[in-house]
Chain A
Amino acid sequence: SQTIHQWPATLVQPVGSPLSLECTVEGTSNPNLYWYRQAAGRGLQLLFYSVGIGQISSEVPQNLSASRPQDRQFILSSKKLLLSDSGFYLCAWVSVSGPSYEQYFGPGTRLTVT
């Protein structure tokens, strides 16, 4: 069965510090991967998605970047965090081997920028 992991679960970082959030998927190959941010318990904003290694599409201009160094690894980064980067970050994956595009989410990372 497939599983998705996110690390760390919670993070408190000062303004101006760097960021690295990791997402890994097990039990599937060549998934589409997605990073979302959720502010204050409401709507999900798509930040980045990737259809393969090294292929990143950015949905909104922002202080963040994403990379996909391996097939099942997706990383969200920042060189200098802003207060507005606080939020709940969710990673999701989709298997593109079948007819459907059901997205499955990881447990999330709660980021607080102080």
Chain B
Amino acid sequence: GQQLNQSPQSMFIQEGEDVSMNCTSSSIFNTWLWYKQDPGEGPVLLIALYKAGELTSNGRLTAQFGITRKDSFLNISASIPSDVGIYFCAGQINNQGGKLIFGQGTELSVKP
């Protein structure tokens, strides 16, 4: 079945640094989504990407839908302590009930 490889698994950075994480797959996706999950809560949608090559920003977050439609990355600029959490990528193949394939997550720790 389809799988998403998300990397890195974890990151320990200093406040103010930029962060980059990515997801790759052997399958083609029509939509890429990025979520953030705080401890004990449900994931929150950060950015949704619908077209190959699309670059979308949400505040300090920027995500891109790869040209091959098999990958996506998320960048966080000037990290702050509240960026701490687990970030998930998710890919969607249409006509399958809206089901998502999730990456395993990137756990981000920010040192003040």
A interface residues with partner B (beta carbon < 8 Å)? 32, 34, 41-44, 46, 49, 51, 57, 88, 90, 92, 94, 96, 99-108, 110
Contact = CB atoms under 8 A, between A and B. Distances in A.
Contact of B42 (A43, A90, A96): A90
Contact of A110 (B40, B44, B90, B103): B40
Contacts of A46: 99-100
B28 interface: no
Contacts of B104: 42-43
Interface string B21-33: 0000000000101
A94 B107 CA distance: 26
B92 interface: yes
A49 to B, nearest CB: 5
Contact of A104 (B41, B45, B92): B45
B97 A32 contact: yes
A92 B35 CA distance: 13
Interface of B: 31, 33, 35, 39-45, 48, 50, 86, 88, 90, 92, 94, 97-100, 102-105, 107
Contacts of B94: 101
* Max chain A Cβ within 10 angstroms of own Cβ: one of B86, B94, B98, B103: B98
